[in-house]
A and B are shown apart, each in its own frame.
Chain A
Amino acid sequence: MSLDVSPRIIFWWSPSFYITETALWAMIVAAFLIIMALLSTRKLQRNPKGMQGVAELIVETVYNFVRDTMGKRNMAFAPYIGTLFLFLFFSSLLGLLHWRAATADVNFAFAMAILVFLLIQINSIRSKGVGGYFKHFAKPYPFMYPINLLEEITFPLSLGFRIFGNILAGYIIMELFFDMLAGVTSSIGIPFLQMVIPLPLNFFFDMFEPGLQAFVFSMLTMSFIARAITYPGDEE
């Protein structure tokens, strides 16, 4: 059984300088997304067809979604949200090819969660000012200061653990299921049971769950950023 929940080191130059499997997959997914973006915008035409049409569909969907969730004045975040969604989705989709998904590593999930956390806090400080930032924790009543502070800190924790736990659980179930099928067929000699039987499980754990979790991740990011930014005009 090849179950392993710790990051696997695949290249190393020295004990403190190495590349884990997750980092390699993350770089490959990023390169894939960049290459697809470049290819689909190479020869832009007025009437989109082929890859340009698909790219325009994705961009339009993301922009509409950000406009509906965050409001028109936060449209500057749309490229980031779209990239976040596609990156998380494709990193989790690796399980479909029976590799270990990059999001099934706690380091990857928490890197993304900390990125979102910093984005929220920096935007909060930028829109409220330093004094206003420290004051807004005591917003409804002063005694709620520690509770509000705790809420801000636990948000990236639950965000990171949510996608990590879901994808890792799917990975473990798929590994156990394949092991069971291999165990059944090993006495026959020809491993034929693994061909079609895991397909529904594959669809749920390696296609539906990554889509849902990437959607939830970007959705929560959007709503928390929108909540953190206050404009001079609005009063609570």
Chain B
Amino acid sequence: MTGITPEAFVFGLSAVGAGIAMIAGLGVGLGQGIATGQALQAIARQPEARGSLMGTLFIGFAMAETSVIFALIVAIILIFVHPFTLS
């Protein structure tokens, strides 16, 4: 632990925290994958419903992304805004 200044230590741990915060992407990825699979099944069963299905699918994607967007904002704040700097 020699040669590491306290500021560098805090910045490094902030970066680690940002990385951990983005684990939230796991759930959203799973959810969107399931949603796409179901939409593909629906299109295969009823190809003429494709237009309305795609619109609903994208709206659902945007809604599901909300949680990972919050995680992304936490990560961005940790990396760029430095909320834990030593005063």
Contacts and interface: CB of A to CB of B under 8 A. Distances in A.
A219 B81 CA distance: 32
A168 B70 CA distance: 12
Interface string B62-75: 11011001101100
Contacts of B34: none
Interface stretch (A24-32, A34-42, A159-167, A189-197): A159-167
A165 B74 CA distance: 10
B8 interface: no
Nearest to B61: A212
Contacts, number: 35
Contact of A216 (B59, B70, B80): B59
Interface string A162-196: 10111011001000000000000000000000000
Report the interface size class on chain A: 10 to 19
A169 B66 contact: no
B20 interface: no
A148 interface: no
Given A3-B80, A5-B76, A165 B69 contact: yes
Given A5-B76, A5-B80, A161 B62 contact: no
A213 interface: yes
Contacts of A74: none
B58 interface: yes
Interface string A11-37: 000000000000000000000000000
Contacts of A172: 76
A158 interface: yes
A168 B65 contact: no
B66 A158 contact: yes
A158 B63 CA distance: 9
Interface string A133-168: 000000000000000000000000010011011101
Interface in B43-67: 58-59, 62-63, 65-66
Contacts of B63: 216
Interface of B: 58-59, 62-63, 65-66, 69-70, 72-73, 76, 80-81
Given A162-B66, A213-B62, 15 more contacts: A5-B81, A6-B80, A6-B81, A161-B73, A165-B69, A165-B72, A165-B76, A166-B65, A166-B69, A169-B72, A172-B76, A212-B62, A215-B58, A216-B62, A219-B59
